[in-house]
Structures are given as structure tokens and as C-alpha cells.
Amino acid sequence: MSKFPVMVAMDLEGVLVPEVWIAFAEATGIPELRLTTRDIANYDQLMRHRLGILRQRGLKLADIQRVIAGMEPLPGALEYMTWLCERFQNVILSDTFYEFASPFMRKLGWPTLFCNSLEVDGEGMVTDYHMRLLDGKRHAVLSLKNLNFSVVAMGDSYNDTAMLCEADLGILFRPPQAVREKFPHLPVAEDYATVQRLIEGFARG
């Protein structure tokens, strides 16, 4: 058995729900918006790129929210979350924004979410973004460990790897090949059944 209670910390996009920016790129026909942290490790560089495109094209927060409203969790995610909530405490640690996340949280049963915020002007244009805390995912995992939780973390991209390496068990979920190769010591799960086995094995010690 794990010495301390197990807390499972998860990324959101690419792990439980589709990537918002990819869906928005497909809806608008703007391929440059398909880039995610799987492609660009520097999150600020990625967000500045996105905000610049929104500004150039005159796209507003409401345009993104309309696309999000029609998105559903990944296949199997709801069943996985039901399984998880019956057995372990959990939290979602994401670099997404509260302005994006509410429809997903409702569909996932309102799990606890730590994420970031957007700055929007009076015309509804996204003008900036604000990180709640730099390197917040890793700091959250570290804080949970300091509270005597045994932490399992799951993510899929470069921006998740700091928290995965800080956790007692870090799991890469369907990561791109470049991330697999850069972090070969992290176990990889291609489906939720494998995630469940890894978590249960860790909890048993």
C-alpha cells in the first residue's frame, strides 16, 4: 500500500477532452492555430502566437466558446473519471483558461480545476492571458506531496513533464513521439485501462 493517501493530478486537454485550439483551427480553417504544447514547448511563445492570430483575424472569445460548447470529452473519459472518483481523490491541473473550461467541467461532473485566466476587452477580444502561477502544475504537485499525499500525475505534452517528473508516479498519456523519446523513464499509457492499472499498482505499492 502507498504510505500516504493517493492524489491523482491530471492535465485536461489531450487527456480528458480534445485540444481546444485544434478544434478551433478546424472550425475556422486556420491551420496555424493547430499548434499546441506538443509542438512548441515554450508556452508563452505559443500563446503570443495564438493571440496574434486572433487579433489579425478579428476573432473573439465568444467565437472560441461557441466551438467549445459543441465539444465532448474524449471517448472513455467519463467512465474513467467515474472509476477514479470512486477510488481516489483527484484534481485537474491545466494550462487552459477558466473562460474555456466550464462546459468541460460540467460534462465531467465538476471536478476540481486549477488553471489560468484570459484578459478580454470591452469588445470581447482576447488581449492577454495571465498564468495563475508560473510552473503551476509542478508547484501544485510539490505542494500536494508536502501535504503528505502520494501523487500520481498524468499528462500528454511538454508542459506536463515538470509535474510528471515531480510526482511519485508520472504517466504520459498518448504523447507525441518526441516527448516519449525525451522522457523515456516515464511510463506511457495509450488508453484509460492502462492508466487504471498503473494507478492501482502504485496504490498497492
Based on the residue annotation, tell me whether 121 is a catalytic residue of this protein: no
Q: Alpha-carbon distance 69 to 175, whole Å?
A: 25
Q: Alpha-carbon distance 152 to 15, whole Å?
A: 14
Beta strands in the chain (DSSP E): 6-10, 89-97, 113-120, 126-130, 150-155, 169-173, 188-189
Q: Which member of 13, 19, 156, 160 is catalytic? A: 13
CB atoms inside a 10 Å sphere around CB 31: 9
Based on the residue annotation, tell me whether 32 is a catalytic residue of this protein: no
Dihedral angle computed from the Cα positions of residues 142, 145, 149 and 155, in that order, rounded to the nearest 10 degrees: 30
Q: How far is CA 112 from CA 10, 105, 106, 190, in A?
A: 11, 8, 11, 24
Annotated catalytic residues are 11, 13
